[in-house]
């Protein structure tokens, strides 16, 4: 089991379903998603919330929150087992 964990660059706990931390590949996926989102949103000139223009600090906080939610979703998906595989 140690060799399998080393090969896939994960912990043995992860292989046994006890560790749901993000691995290097997950981190790269999140970075790609966030870079793509920031690029798309950079083209938008008017960020509005509740009828008010958002300042740059608020926009950055929003992007940080989205990134955190992406991390949570990735971790939760590690627990998901499709019905067909149960």
34 falls within a domain:
yes
Which residue range is the domain that position 79 belongs to? 22-85
The answer to whether residue 33 is domain-embedded is yes
Q: Would you tell me how many other CB atoms lie within 10 Å of the CB of residue 35?
A: 10
Note the pLDDT of residue 32: 92
At 47 the three-state DSSP class reads: coil
Domain count, the chain: 1
Alpha carbon distance 9, 11 (integer Å)? 7
| pLDDT lower than 70: segments of the chain | 14, 17-20, 79-83, 85-86
pLDDT confidence of residue 23: 78
Distance CA(36)–CA(63), nearest Å, equals 12
Residue 56 belongs to a domain = yes
Is 45 part of a structural domain of the chain? yes
**Residue 81: predicted pLDDT:** 66
Sign of CA dihedral 67, 71, 74, 77: negative
The answer to whether the pTM exceeds 0.75 is: no
**Residue 13 belongs to some domain of the structure:** no
């Amino acid at each position: 089991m140690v060799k399998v964990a080393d090969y896939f660059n994960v912990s043995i706990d992860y292989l046994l379903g006890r560790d749901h931390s993000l691995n290097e590949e997950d981190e790269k996926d999140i970075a790609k998603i966030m870079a793509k989102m920031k690029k798309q949103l950079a083209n938008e000139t008017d960020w509005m919330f509740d009828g008010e223009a958002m300042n740059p600090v608020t926009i950055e906080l929003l992007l940080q929150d989205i990134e955190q939610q992406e991390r949570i979703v990735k971790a939760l998906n590690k627990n998901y087992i499709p019905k067909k595989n149960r």
